[in-house]
Each structure stands twice: as C-alpha cells, then as structure tokens.
Chains A and B, each alone.
Chain A
Amino acid sequence: MSASKSVRVEIKVNGKAVAAEVEARLLLVQFIRDVAGLKGTNIGCDTTSCGACTVLLNGQSVKSCTVLAAQADGASILTIEGLAPEAGDGSGEGAASLMHPVQRAFHENHGLQCGYCTPGMVMAVTSLIAEAGPGELDEAAIREGLEGNLCRCTGYHNIVASALAAAREAGVAVARTGAGE
C-alpha cells in the first residue's frame, strides 16, 4: 500500500459488506450515514465528548466521529439499525416484542426524552453489558460506564434504570438500587 488521499475500504455494516473508494479523511460516522445510508447514528458534538455517534466496532463501543473509515477497513460495525432489524422502526404491531433487550428496556423504562442521544446510549449499554462479567454491573458501574454519553435533556435517571433493567435481563446486574424503581 502506498500513501494516498483516497482509500478503498470494505466495511461490514450490520452484517452487510459496504465497499467504497473514500477520501482518507472520511470519518466512520460519515461512512455509516452517507455511504451506507444509515441515519440512525447521530452526530452530536463531533468532538469525542457526547457519545451520540457510538457504534460497535468489532463488538466494542467506539465514537464513530473519531475513527477514520480507513481505520475501520475490514471491520464489522453494528449500528442501532442492526441490533434487531426485524423490529423495524419500532412502530409496527408487536414491534416491542421483536426489539433487542436493550432497546426494549429503554422502551419500557422510558429511557429517553428527546431521543437524540438514544442510539448512542443503547449501543454503549449493549457494549457495557457484553463486556461485564457475572455480577459486575450495579448502578455505580453503569453510571461510570456511561460517562462517555451525554444526555442534554438530563434524562439520566431513566437511562440508568433502563440499563439496569437490560443488565438484569442479561443476568449480570447485582444490586437493586434506587434508580427508577
């Protein structure tokens, strides 16, 4: 490979290979939104702070505004659309039962207000639960684990309650705590 301003990348997004010749400076979040055409991943601060653009890269949460598409060449990306594709946009008959457990926990615990941070929150919680050993996640660990995701509505109480509910369903939460209960 020689240095070049454009890079041929192939990234698996939600199980589907997306190949394109892109500018080297293209960010992963722009690849997801504008090349793969998936607008569920939001751009918030664009400075690695807010976490709205969180996706899973090879299973780990990352802020896709701070990863080059070229760095993700060959990787598998999971976005909010890929968590439970059969649930569609969540509005259909019986869609709630088809949601991913983390989505369903946010749905049932009203873990959102305006919803802008929600895709990033859901992906961050999904990563947090996947990485936790049995009994590792209590409320404090969830609050710390979500320090990279900001909710400008300040709706943290129900977000933490949602994450706790999802963790409990996954069999990793330990402590019963005050959040939303």
Chain B
Amino acid sequence: MIPASFEYVRAESLDEALALLVEHGDEVKLLAGGHSLLPLMKLRLATPSVLVDIGRIDELKYVRDEGDVVAIGALTTHHDLARNALLSRHVPVLAHVAGQVGDPQVRHRGTIGGSIAHGDAASDLPAVVLALGGTYVVAGPKGRREIPASEFHLGFLETALEPDEALTEIRVGKWGEGGWGFEKLTKRAQDWAIVGVVAVRREVPDGAGAGAVAAGSGIGVALVNMASVPVRAASTETALADGASIADAAALADADCDPAADVNASVEYRRHLARVLVRRALEQASR
C-alpha cells in the first residue's frame, strides 16, 4: 500500500516546524516517528497534502529532572523511555508502559508525543499521563501553553491542539513512592489494547480524600479504549477514597464511560474487561 501523494519537508528546529505549520495551513501534518500517521496514510484514511518531518529535532528528545516533575521531550521514543534510568526511578509506570507499546521495532521509531498528539483512545501512554495527572506543553505562534491531560483529548483522534500548534513536552509528577499497576488485554502480543488499565497509588495523609488525586497524590485509575478518549475511572477512584475495598471499587470501573463495539469486542465484553482489569491493576498497585 502506498500513501496518496504529498509534499515532504524536513524541519531542523522547533521554530522551523512551527513556521512550516503556519505556512502550509490546514493541509499539513507533523511527522514524528510515523507509526500512527503512516499506517493511516497507507490506508488512505489520512491524506495530508504536506508532511513536516520533525523526527530529527534533537531539542525535543530528552528526559529531565525538574524537581517534583519529570519533563519529557515529545520526540523521545518509546524505546528510550523504557530504558531511561531517571524515568524508571521516578515514574516507573510510564517507563514500564512505554516498554509495552507495540513491539521492539515500533518502540524504536514511535514517540510519546506522536502517540499522544495522534489522540487514539486505544493508545496506552495517554492513559498513563491521565492517571498521573500530568500536563502537556504545546507551542505555537502565540507562544507556549500548558494543557492538563484531562483537557487534552476531545474526541476520536481529536485533541486540544490548534492546527498551528505542536506538542513539545510531557510533564508528570514524580511517582516513585507508592504502587502502580498496568493491565491490557490484546489478541496478539503487539496489538492495540482491547481494554487497558493504568492504576497508580501514592500514600496520602489522612483526610486528603479524592480531591488530592488531581493534585498528584492519592489514587489514579485511567482506562484505555473504553471511550472515544482516554478516561479516568472516577467512580472507582471516589469509592477507594471513601474506603471501599478493591473488589467493590473495581465493580464501578465502567460506570463513567461509553465504550464502543468493534471487531474485537462487544460493549458488554469491554465493560466486563474494564472491571476485571481494574481489579487486577489495583491489586498490583497495592502491593
């Protein structure tokens, strides 16, 4: 399969990429690792007129310690995240899940920023950032702004990015203390999750309650492929904050989402999987 014809241009810096986005308007797409975009183009589900290749912009490849936060450059590959010592120490769930995306070949090319900006609810990494209460830094002609992960994904393959903006950085609070769990069910090892679950738990002071979750502590549970966007299992989180058992809280895992049926799973099967996988992920996070 061959993509529809397009014009290609390589940006050597973020500023150049942003200028090219403005120059080429609505018909342009940024190309990072290409492992979400190129398959869509080969199927002619996406037919951009211009591709701006940002894959060589080294200034967007990093993992930095910024005090309470780990900052990740958008063009860092899944492979590099999975093997990054700083990330493994401070946000181990993100390093682990990056190592579970696709397969080794995909992880060598695919980038965290590409995965998140693509906005597929079946992707693993957006759910991790959501569960951690992270934020996304985007840059555009009007400057730089931060978007909370909970406000970034708007619908199927739709994000809060403006057409002239690029995702540049992912920021997550250090979460080395406490536990985490990740579960996904796939038919083949390399497949997208039919349903995936990320659970993170940090010890919180007595009385901090569910409100502490958004501030980066407490318990966060996020679901992969249970709606058109990655979603928090809010009822489960609230139940846990109110002292419910894992089993009782997990029974509410699908209460706040609206999954779709597809060739892999019916709606009811997805709901069942969410409840089972949330229980397992919470059990892992509690160890």
Contact = CB atoms under 8 A, between A and B. Distances in A.
Query: Do A and B come together as binding partners?
Result: yes
Interface of A: 1-5, 7, 23-25, 27, 46-49, 51, 54, 57, 60-63, 66-68, 70-71, 73, 124, 127-128, 144-145, 147-150
Contacts of B5: 5, 23-25
Interface of B: 1-10, 20, 24, 31, 34-35, 38-39, 41-42, 50-53, 55, 79, 102-106, 108-109, 188-190
A23 B3 CA distance: 11
Contact of B109 (A66, A73, A144): A66
Given A3-B50, A46-B1, A147-B189, A67 B6 contact: no
A3 B34 CA distance: 18
Contact of B24 (A3, A4, A23, A148): A3
A148 B104 contact: yes
A66 B190 contact: no
Contact of B7 (A4, A127, A144, A145): A4
Nearest to B16: A1
Contacts of B20: 3
Given A47-B39, A144-B189, A148-B103, A62 B6 contact: no
B79 A1 contact: no
Given A46-B42, A51-B105, A68-B34, A1 B4 contact: no
Contact of B105 (A27, A47, A124): A124
Contact of A71 (B1, B7, B55): B55
A128 B104 contact: yes
A124 B104 contact: yes
Contacts, number: 97
Nearest to A47: B39
Given A27-B2, A71-B53, 5 more contacts: A5-B5, A25-B3, A61-B104, A147-B190, A148-B106
A61 B105 contact: yes
B42 A62 contact: no
A70 B9 CA distance: 9
A3 to B, nearest CB: 4
B79 A60 contact: yes
Given A3-B50, A48-B39, A148-B102, A66 B7 contact: no
Contacts of A25: 2-6, 41
B104 A71 contact: no
Nearest to A143: B189
A4 B5 CA distance: 10
B105 A62 contact: yes
Nearest to A66: B38
A46 B106 CA distance: 14
Contacts of B7: 3-5, 24
Q: Across the A-B interface, give the 9 residue pairs with the lowest CB-CB distance, nearest first.
A: A148-B103, A24-B8, A147-B189, A3-B7, A3-B9, A60-B108, A25-B3, A147-B103, A148-B105
A60 B33 CA distance: 13
A150 to B, nearest CB: 8
Nearest to B51: A24
B188 to A, nearest CB: 8
B53 A51 contact: no
Contacts of B103: 51, 147-149
B105 A54 contact: yes
Contacts of B8: 3-5, 7, 24, 68, 70
Q: Which interface residue of A61, A63, A66, A70 has the most chain B CB atoms within 10 A? A: A66
B31 to A, nearest CB: 7
B20 to A, nearest CB: 8
A71 B5 CA distance: 16
A71 B190 CA distance: 24
Contact of B108 (A27, A47, A61): A61
A1 B19 CA distance: 13
